[in-house]
Structure 1
């Protein structure tokens, strides 16, 4: 079942990429495995899925020893600074860095582990009070500060647009994140990469996100079903 779902998602990714005149292999699929047991990750891994997204750091800590070493964990939930030590030891990418305090905490723990880590900056593109993420207008300043930290490498931006019933209504937010990343790139704020990653789009709207430039899509329900 999971293998078949992954196959279908990859076909839809290829269709959306083709529509946008893009190559499908320029788009990474993150299978959102939060609240699913490690055996579901192993089933998806056996079907060729490598990257998994988790929202709760304790879950990553529990699952890491139960899955193959080649499994890549992206942390996609809100990360508190006091959990940065666990994240530094167990995750491969943090997609939700939204402040300098968290960046410094990660950098310090990575230093102790002699590791470097790729991160994305989470942008609150819809300017929603209840959501994490830096404001669009403050993203450049955060990037300048994060770029001073030697153990983290800022590779791009991530967002979760406002929840809407019609996926088309997410398009302006995806477009805004792409425009922001292009502006920041021109300002030299992604010094260690050629092109910024854009993590945006979930089960209901990833096809639209791909049309608007997503390089990472986060799909859970369409792969694993409802929790």
Structure 2
């Protein structure tokens, strides 16, 4: 399939997942993950109406960022080293991978220097896989207590990555666990603003993630293809 055909199929599958779960189609948005494709392909993706782009390394995204600029809402979805914060804050609208206090301090410091509040998603390792970054569920609420003291960080959502499963249905407990954390945090009113976004679901399991409440699905190969 070409890019347009893949886009149509993905949009149809998202609409069907929303229908099955009784959700409004507009409550789910696509982050097109372009980290493995060229600038020309990324531009073609944007031309098809996908205006949220996910990347995970500044040195790789720089040519795309310079070429596409304000046409795109940029999402930093990879592990972020503290010494790279200066390259990300001010260029990416959202950081999906806030997962430790040292990183929060650096983001807050950079936000203060730029006089801008940085929208972040807290990454939680619901599955407990050692190969994945993120807080454990047990660390989540103590971390919220710490982050709430940083005036230049706004917690806009939570993010997780499920293990790759041959049966996508097996990922459901991971996505449900993230939603439950968000809902409990909101019920306890631990932050000034309610946490809205759930960034979860990728090419293999996005439909299950939608059924469990994802507001952003991060789609790479199934949408943009491979090069």
Instruction: State the Cα RMSD in Å.
Output: 1.4
Aligned match of 2:177? 176
Following superposition, the deviation at residue 226 of structure 1 comes to: 2.4
TM-score by length of 2: 0.94
Correspondence 1:196 to 2:196: yes
Partner-residue secondary structure (3-state), 1:67: helix
Q: Deviations over 1:51-101 (max 9, x none)?
A: 011121222333211114120111111111110110103211001100111
| Aligned pairs, number | 226
Q: Which runs of 4+ in 1 moved over 6 A?
A: none
Distance in 2 (alpha carbons) for counterparts of 1:60 and 1:87: 11
Structure 2 counterpart SS, 1:58 = helix
Tell me the equivalent position of 1:39. Answer: 40
Determine the C-alpha separation between the residues in 2 that align with 1:82 and 1:53: 20
Which is worse superposed, 173-182 or 58-67?
Answer: 58-67
Measured in 2, the distance between the counterparts of 1:85 and 1:100 equals 17
Conservation of the 8 A alpha-carbon contact between 1:60 and 1:90: no
Q: What stretches of structure 2 of length at least 5 have no aligned partner?
A: none
1:146-171 CA distance string (max 9 Å, x none): 12111221012100012221111101
Unaligned runs of 5+ in 1: none
Task: Indicate the SS of the match to 1:218.
Answer: strand
What secondary structure is seen at the aligned counterpart in 2 of 1:178? helix
Counterpart Cα distance in 2 of 1:81 and 1:27: 30
Q: Deviations over 1:188-212 (max 9, x none)?
A: 124223x521111111110011011
What is the aligned partner in structure 1 of residue 25 from structure 2? 24
Indicate how the Cα distance of structure 1 residues 222 and 91 shifts in structure 2: closer, same or farther if over 3 A, else same: same
TM-score by length of 1: 0.94
Match of 1:96 in 2: 97
Supply the distance in 2 between the matched residues of 1:23 and 1:190 (Cα, whole angstroms): 26
The alignment partner of 2:70 has SS state of coil
CA shift in 2, pair 1:15/1:45, >3 Å: same
The answer to whether residue 225 in structure 2 is matched with residue 218 in structure 1 is: no
Q: State the distance in 2 between where 1:207 and 1:107 align.
A: 34
**Is this contact kept in 1: 2:75–2:95, CA < 8 A?**
yes
CA contact (8 A) 1:27 1:217 kept: yes
Rounded to whole Å, the distance in 1 between the matches of 2:50 and 2:103 is 29
Residue 208 of structure 1 is matched in structure 2 by 208
Deviation of 1:220 after TM superposition, in Å, equals 0.5
